[in-house]
Amino acid sequence: MKIIHDIISTFIGIGYCPLAPGTAASLVVVLIYYFLLRGLSWPVFAGLCLIIFFLGVWSSSRYASSRRVEDPGSVVIDEVLGQLLALFALHFTTPGWPLLLAAFLGFRFFDIFKPFFIHRAERFPAGWGIMLDDVMAGLYTGILLQIYLHLA
């Protein structure tokens, strides 16, 4: 069972990237979105996000506990979900690379600097805290993208 938590939490090993594993995972998600997921209907896309959320809470809790670390840097399933949530804001458009780059950079900004109470989400126990700060970062990014799309 440990191997399953390892695979899910590290997003099939991307979390072991020696430099910026969260950024690497986010970049891979943008590419997966562009080439595979952008054609999904929004209910299927939303369902995928929900599945990743609950799998992420479950797996990252077990993974962190087995390593006796509160939020291991190799856990990147949270970045996967956060980036997908940021991209969800673009799902009703046909986003080109500039908008995808904006979603990527916006999410990375909110994930790294954790402004506007995002850091408080880390206080939740175990996998909940690991996942929720990135959920908030993805939602903040999505809100900004929607504001931009409505003003443009």
Alpha-carbon torsion 88, 94, 95, 97, what sign? positive
Is the pLDDT at 15 greater than 80? The verdict is yes
* 23: confidence class by pLDDT, cuts 50, 70, 90: very high
Q: How high is the pLDDT of residue 121? A: 85
Domain limits for position 118: 2-151
Residues in the chain: 152
Q: Decide: 76 and 100 in contact? Cβ < 8 Å.
A: no
Domains identified in the chain, total number? 1
Q: Decide: 35 and 81 in contact? Cβ < 8 Å.
A: no
pLDDT in tens, 104-116: 999 999 999 999 8
